[in-house]
A and B are shown apart, each in its own frame.
Chain A
Amino acid sequence: MKKLNAYFRSYNGQVLLRLIAAILIGYLASNAIGVVMAKSLDRWTSLHLSEASLYASLSAFFIYSVIILWAFSVRSQKKLWRQLSVLTFIFAVLAYVI
């Protein structure tokens, strides 16, 4: 356990943690944002749901990339995890509610 702790404090461990945050949590977040986008386009514009979800899907990779970039630009690892989880949670709830 101690060893694992030490590893996550090392440079490589920090990179790994960031990669997990960016790639896994970021994937969840971008999917949630995409769903919210699709549903709100469907609800508040005249677009059909099929069109709205295609537009959202087209943007999904861009959203994902921006999240990954952001994950590597935030200085503090703790701040990153906190903000990213809050973001994911909010959008997941929104996606469910709308």
Chain B
Amino acid sequence: MIWLHTWAGLVFCWLLYFMFVTGTLGYLDSELDSWMKPELSAAEEVSLETDLSAAVTYLQAHAADAERWFISPANHRDNPQLRVSWRYPRDSEKSNGRELINRDTGEELHHRETAGGQTLYRMHYRLHYLPSGWGFRLVGIFTLAMFIALLTGVVAHRKLFKDFFSFRPQKGKTAWLDMHNLSSIASLPFQLMITYSGLIFAISTWMPFVGVAAYDFDVKSLRADINEMRGRSSVKAAGESANLVGMDILSQNIEASINDGALVRFIEIKNPNDRNAKIFVNPHLSGPVQEQNKLQFDGRSGKLESSKEQSGALQTRNVFINLHEGLFAGPALRLLYILSGILGTLMVATGAIYYAQKRKRPTHALSKQQMLVNIVNGGTIIGLPISICIFMISNRLLAIELDQRADWEVHSMFLAWLASFVLAAFWVKDAMWKKLTLVLSIALFTVPIVNFFSTNRGLGQSSWQNDTLFVATDVVMLSMAAISLLLWAILSKKEQRQQSPIRSSNAHSAVA
């Protein structure tokens, strides 16, 4: 089992590392979105009615004939601004759209074109630059490999608790193994949860056969049953126009039927301005178990029509999905999610480094293969954080009117990553880790500096009270820069000691 652990573990290490880093940042996707739109600040939360009226007025003016409207009121970390989007039927020539709305003026909010935190988060499960669908399929395979690596890992560390308490920082490669054990065991429940729930996303991609064969290959009735289970309505437009209910009445009815203290996540209006208009209200999650299903209202009268009981199987599935996405998590739990994500990232990184160290013979020069492993290790483990810094910096430095600016933010990120690999290859024979760590530290320092000069929300320009997000980002960036600088210092010291073994042993005896 131990050798399967090493195999399954290493082959997938680098991509898993990418998934862990982008996934952990995914717990801050909305925050990163806001950071990348420095022109906007979070809208104050007002009444549901105000938001809905402003949104519907806007949609009536710009997309009155759309098939579906979506409105997300500004009441949650997920929606710092009032957001609307609209969709036309698939065969329509008109294009779908989405906008952030200023509820006082009823106009769109203007902000720079940016990829935002969502794009980074999407890479976590779709990767990038791959034909649609392939990233998702690949990620499913890697997730299964991770799950198996975890299970075999538990078997490989049969002395689980003994491993947990043995950390020998001075012992070179054993220290990497200890750190690998420490970070994995400390976060094992989280890792098992996050990996298996990640697999649940891939059911229809990689395990569709179970359902299909259980239905004796009658895909049509399978689809119909799934749609019914999910409460998807099949209401068709009548083709007769009718007035949509007033938002004052609708919001009163929503507030009367939604659970106490629950907030509206988004409402969907199907066939607006039609006799068969339907309104679906989705509440925010307050925990992994969805307490209230979506509510259905009639679009003309605004009366509550139904709130169906959800099937047990679907609820079970949703608990997995909700646990994975952590949308319900408040600040404290979100922090725990992030810390567990960081531990997972460390688990993957230290596993990869330990693998490379274990194969090093002190008396032999590195083989070509070992050198390649080292380059990819350095270029991935340090290079990816560097490239994410460049992603953030490019958001500030790229010309505002640049064509396809959002794409160029992502291109800059991957170009920076490529550059890290080149640097790693260049330095692989001579203190690669030390030099890369210094580059990372500089990149991390640069983010708040560039933010200071390119916006008026830099450190010292804004305060904790009125701009928590920006101050927090600067503080986090600076602390991470300090940590990598510290790492650089430790690595330099270690290098000095290795270069002059005699002097250092003298120093040791002098201390003794």
**Which A residues have a C-beta under 8 Å from some C-beta of B?**
15, 30-31, 34-35, 38-39, 42, 47-58, 60-62, 64-65, 68-69, 72-73, 95
| A49-B215, A49-B225, A72-B1 as given contacts; A60 in contact with B210, CB under 8 Å | yes
- Interchain nearest-CB distance for B192 vs A (Å): 11
Is the Cβ of B144 less than 8 Å from the Cβ of A56? no
Is the Cβ of B1 less than 8 Å from the Cβ of A73? yes
**Which of A35, A48, A62 gathers most chain B CB within 10 Å?**
A35
Q: Which B-chain residue is minimally distant from A50 (CB atoms)?
A: B225
Q: Which B-chain residue is minimally distant from A38 (CB atoms)?
A: B214
B196 close to A (CB within 8 Å): yes
Residues on the A chain within 8 Å of B202, using CB: 61
Interface class of chain B by DSSP: helix
Query: What separation, in Å, do the CA atoms of A64 and B147 have in the docked complex?
Result: 11
**Which B residues have a C-beta under 8 Å from some C-beta of A?**
1, 4, 7, 144, 147-148, 151-152, 155, 196, 199-200, 202-203, 206-207, 209-211, 213-215, 222, 225-226, 228-229, 311-314, 316-317, 320
> CB < 8 Å: which of B148, B207, B228 contacts A60?
B207
Query: What separation, in Å, do the CA atoms of A55 and B209 have in the docked complex?
Result: 13
> CB < 8 Å: which of A50, A65, A69, A95 contacts B213?
A95
Residues on the B chain within 8 Å of A65, using CB: 144, 147-148, 151
Query: What separation, in Å, do the CA atoms of A35 and B320 have in the docked complex?
Result: 21
Is the Cβ of B207 less than 8 Å from the Cβ of A61? yes
Is the Cβ of A57 less than 8 Å from the Cβ of B320? no
| A31-B207, A38-B211, A50-B311 as given contacts; A61 in contact with B225, CB under 8 Å | no
Query: What separation, in Å, do the CA atoms of A61 and B140 have in the docked complex?
Result: 11
Residues on the A chain within 8 Å of B209, using CB: 31, 34-35
Between-chain CB contacts (< 8 Å), 27 pairs? A35-B210, A38-B211, A50-B226, A50-B311, A51-B311, A51-B314, A52-B214, A52-B313, A53-B214, A54-B317, A55-B313, A57-B203, A57-B211, A58-B313, A58-B316, A60-B210, A61-B200, A61-B203, A61-B206, A64-B144, A64-B207, A65-B144, A65-B148, A69-B1, A69-B151, A69-B152, A95-B213
